[in-house]
């Protein structure tokens, strides 16, 4: 689809995808790639390997038999780079541009693929005629190789995973969905993928503030035109671990119902104090959806009964995911019912403490409440 006179979106949609490396993708996703026509033709990003032929067909629909000259790899993760072997086979003379880390990772992922690689760093540019591509390395947003690419002549930022969303319902631009939906999906994406990398994100936002941007073309989801300020404002808040002091999220699982009763009792008590409270039961609520709800919550309460001297596996899985995503500046509370041994609440408390949370006194009930 044509974005500007010489710029096309040539990626692929995956509307039926429901799990993306453990992330519940309720609206599917896209694997975005962009074709820029100039004296030299440039392809920015690739797609997941099963969609390689779709990508090549989209490219040929624009170029016919004209070759692609330059391949910019903003990110090596296979949902972005999986089609690299097919693309380089179709255009063997094309040079691949990316960071030094990208070259190392690409060679490891695709050892049998042959292509000329041009390493780039901050401040480097690629001239293709009327256009000059500026490379903006952003390591650990969210892999070591990651970078963005800026095209000043068109005021377009090809932002890689930053500012993306898992939306594959057919729309192209941000204004084709309600702003609330866009920011909800962007928040889900941030909470489950980008959250641990707040400091690098902050550096990228600082760099982006000096760019004149009319359009943001991410690697997943909708292209931003109308809602760029709102998206940047959310990212600024999220990268600082900004939270709503009035929000409580209660996450729990139960066996015979006592821990669920305790969760409901906590919800009622905190609601009476004027807090906005949300109780989420595992596994009815996917872990990635829980993380989305936690993104801006100040208080995180986690509950499990004791089973075989441990917390329930569902709760352990959630805590493992949350600990890896590293939310900061939260207040935690552990709770749970038990019959005779009662270790679960203490185990949860230990993990909340290890996450760096301020913790409230654990709550344990025996048999029932």
Active-site annotation holder among 34, 150, 189, 252? 189
Active-site annotation holder among 14, 45, 154, 161? 161
Active-site annotation holder among 45, 79, 103, 253? 79
Q: Is 329 left (phi over 0), alpha (psi -120 to 50) or beta?
A: left
161 is catalytic: yes
* Integer CA distances (angstroms), 54 to 28, 68, 94, 215, 243, in order: 17, 16, 19, 25, 42
What is the secondary structure of 239-304 as a DSSP string? HTT--EEEEEEEEE--SSSHHHHHHHHHHHHHHHTT-EEEEEETTTS-HHHHHHHHTTEEEEEEE-
Burial of 140 (0-12, 13-18, 19+ CB in 10 A): middle
Active-site annotation holder among 14, 38, 45, 75? 75
Active-site annotation holder among 45, 142, 185, 299? 142
212 is catalytic: no
343 is catalytic: no
The CA distance from 297 to 277, in Å, is 10
Active-site annotation holder among 14, 38, 45, 77? 77
235 is catalytic: no
Active-site annotation holder among 38, 45, 105, 220? 220
166 is catalytic: no
112 is catalytic: no
142 is catalytic: yes
Residues sharing a CB contact under 8 Å with residue 114, sequence separation 6 or more, in sequence order? 88, 92
Q: Would you tell me how many other CB atoms lie within 10 Å of the CB of residue 236?
A: 15
Instruction: Determine the distance from the C-alpha atom of residue 232 to the mean position of all C-alpha atoms in its chain, rounded to a whole number.
Output: 15
Would you please indicate which residues are annotated as catalytic (active-site) residues? 21, 75, 77, 79, 142, 161, 189, 220
């Amino acid at each position: 689809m044509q974005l500007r006179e010489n710029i096309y979106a040539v990626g692929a949609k995956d509307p039926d995808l429901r799990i993306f490396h453990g992330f519940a993708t309720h609206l599917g996703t896209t694997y975005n790639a962009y074709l820029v026509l100039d004296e030299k033709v440039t392809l920015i990003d690739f797609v997941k390997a099963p969609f390689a032929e779709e990508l090549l067909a989209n490219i040929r629909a624009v170029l016919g038999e004209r070759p692609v000259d330059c391949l910019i790899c903003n990110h090596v993760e296979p949902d972005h780079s999986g089609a690299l072997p097919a693309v380089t086979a179709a255009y063997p003379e094309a040079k691949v541009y990316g960071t030094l880390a990208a070259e190392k990772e690409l060679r490891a992922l695709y050892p049998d693929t042959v292509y000329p690689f041009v390493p780039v760093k901050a401040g480097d540019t690629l001239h293709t005629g009327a256009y000059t591509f500026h490379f903006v390395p952003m390591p650990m947003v969210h892999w070591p190789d990651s970078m963005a690419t800026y095209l000043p002549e068109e005021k377009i930022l090809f932002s890689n995973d930053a500012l993306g969303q898992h939306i594959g319902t057919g729309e192209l631009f941000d204004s084709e969905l309600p702003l609330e939906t866009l920011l909800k999906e962007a928040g889900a994406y941030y909470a489950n993928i980008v959250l641990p990398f707040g400091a690098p994100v902050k550096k990228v936002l600082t760099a982006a503030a000096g760019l004149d941007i009319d359009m943001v073309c991410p690697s997943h989801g909708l292209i931003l035109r109308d809602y760029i300020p709102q998206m940047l404002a959310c990212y600024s808040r999220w990268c600082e671990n900004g939270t709503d002091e009035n929000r409580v999220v209660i996450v729990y699982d139960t066996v015979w119902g006592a821990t669920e009763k305790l969760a409901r009792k906590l919800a009622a008590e905190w609601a009476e104090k004027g807090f906005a409270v949300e109780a989420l039961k595992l596994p009815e609520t996917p872990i990635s959806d829980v993380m989305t709800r936690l993104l801006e919550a100040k208080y995180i309460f986690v509950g499990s009964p004791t089973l075989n001297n441990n917390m329930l596996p569902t709760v352990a899985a959630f805590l493992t995911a949350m600990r890896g995503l590293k939310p900061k500046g939260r207040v935690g509370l552990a709770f749970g019912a038990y019959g005779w041994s009662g270790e679960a609440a203490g185990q949860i408390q230990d993990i909340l403490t290890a996450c760096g949370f301020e913790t409230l006194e654990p709550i344990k009930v025996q048999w029932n409440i």
